Amino acid sequence: MERGAGALLEAAREVLSYAVEELDRALKLGDVFLYRNAADKAFLALVLAVNALVLARVGVVPRSHGERRRALREMGREDLRALYSDLMKTLHEEALYEGVYQPDEVRYAVGRVERLIGEVEDALRGEA
């Protein structure tokens, strides 16, 4: 696995662990502010994981959401492009910016981010 991609994946796992802790605490306390922060941390973990994959395959780190989606499409990973867009909407747009309170949707999204990190790790490990 390329060293930079590995560091990005390590950061993604760490940020996701903070997101899970914050989400659990937010739901226990009914703290909407903490809930929004947890959702955004989960989104950051997604961004880091996708950046790791793109870096390993294309050799650049995308600088925007549009660049990430375009890179995934060009890599033939329309499935990941669609997943990225869907999770971005749930975690970043709805939970963080709009304050939509849907704990089940956010928990599902967090689980998908965790699985995606594992999938990226497996894919990159297979290239080594």
Alpha helices by DSSP H, 75-102: 78-87
Mean pLDDT (whole number) for 87-100: 92
What end-to-end distance do the CA atoms of the chain give, in Å? 5
* Alpha-carbon 49 to chain mean position: 6
Q: How far apart are alpha carbons 126 and 128 in whole angstroms?
A: 6
CATH of the domain at 95: 1.20.120.330
Structure confidence at residue 24 (pLDDT): 98
Task: Give 91's contacts (C-beta < 8 A, 6+ positions apart).
Answer: 39, 40, 42, 43, 46, 106, 109, 113
Domain that holds residue 52: 3-127
- Domain count of the chain? 1
What percent of the chain is modeled with pLDDT above 70? 98
**Residue 1 pLDDT > 60, yes or no?**
no
pLDDT tens digits along 57-67: 999 999 999 99
So what's the pLDDT on residue 99? 86
Confidence of residue 38 (pLDDT cuts 50, 70, 90): very high
Look at residue 128 in the predicted model and tell me its pLDDT: 56
